[in-house]
Chain A
Amino acid sequence: MYLHMCCEKINTIVNALPPAPRRGLAHWLILPLLLISCEKALMEPDAASDPETVFEEIWTFADRHYSFFEEKNVDWDALYDTYRPRVDPGMSPVALFDLCAEMLYELRDGHVNLLSSFDRSRYWQWYLDEPENFYYAVIERHYMQNRQRLAGPLQIVNLGHLEGVGDMIYAYYGSFAQTIGESHLDLLIGSLSGTAGLILDVRNNGGGSPENARRLVSRFTAEKVFVGTNYRKTGPGHNDFQAEEVFIEPHNGLVHTGPVIVLTNRKSYSATTYFAQFMKALDNVTLVGDATGGGGGIPAFRDLPNGWLLRVSSSRFTGPGGQSIEPGVEPHVRVSMSEEGILEGRDDILEKAIELLSGNNS
Chain B
Amino acid sequence: MIAFVLIARSGSGQSDPSLGFLCPSFSYNERGHLKTSYIGELPDRMVYLKIDQGFSMGRLLDQRMSNLHYTGPGGVLAFGRQVRTDRYINQWTFAGFRFQQSRPRHKGTQVIQPVGGLGFSHLRPFRQFGPFPVWVGLQTDLLANVRVAPSLGNSFLYADLTAEFQPLARLSAVPHLFGRDWHFDLSLSAGLIGYALRLPEYGSSFQLGSDGGVTLLTTESMMLHPGNYARLTGGLFFKDSFGGRYNPNWFRIGYIWDYYRIHGRHGLSMFDASHQFVLELYFLMN
Contact = CB atoms under 8 A, between A and B. Distances in A.
Interface of A: 22, 25, 28-29, 31-32, 35-36, 39, 42-44, 46-47, 49, 57, 64-65, 117, 209-211, 213-215, 217, 227, 230, 232-236, 240, 244-249, 274, 278, 298-307, 309, 311, 314-315, 317
Interface residues of B, number: 57
B66 A304 contact: yes
B32 interface: no
A300 B204 contact: yes
B208 A35 contact: no
Nearest to B60: A43
A315 B212 contact: no
A35 B212 contact: no
B269 interface: yes
Contacts of B201: 234
A47 B67 contact: yes
Interface hub of B107, B188, B208, B236 (most chain A Cβ within 10 A): B208
9 contacts: A42-B273, A43-B271, A209-B214, A211-B214, A213-B212, A232-B218, A233-B203, A309-B152, A317-B208
Contacts of A31: 186, 188, 234
Interface string B19-42: 000000000000000000000000
B7 to A, nearest CB: 13
Given A43-B69, A302-B66, A211 B186 contact: no
Interface of B: 10, 59, 61, 63, 65-69, 104-109, 149, 151-156, 171, 173, 175, 184, 186, 188, 201-204, 206-214, 218, 230, 232, 234-236, 255, 257, 259, 261, 265-266, 269, 271, 273, 275
A274 B207 CA distance: 13
B204 A314 contact: yes
A210 B213 contact: yes
A50 to B, nearest CB: 13
Contacts of B186: 28-29, 31-32
Contacts of B107: 307
A29 B218 CA distance: 44
Contact of A298 (B149, B202, B204): B204
B154 A303 contact: no
Contacts of B236: 29, 32
Nearest to A227: B212
Q: Sorted from nearest, which 3 A-B pairs have the closest CB atoms?
A: A307-B106, A307-B108, A47-B67
A39 B259 contact: yes
Given A246-B210, A247-B212, A315-B207, A25 B173 contact: yes
A298 B154 contact: yes
B212 A235 contact: no
A311 B218 CA distance: 19
Contact of A35 (B153, B207, B232): B232
Given A31-B186, A300-B204, A303-B108, 4 more contacts: A36-B275, A298-B206, A307-B109, A315-B207
Contacts of A249: 211
A217 B212 contact: yes
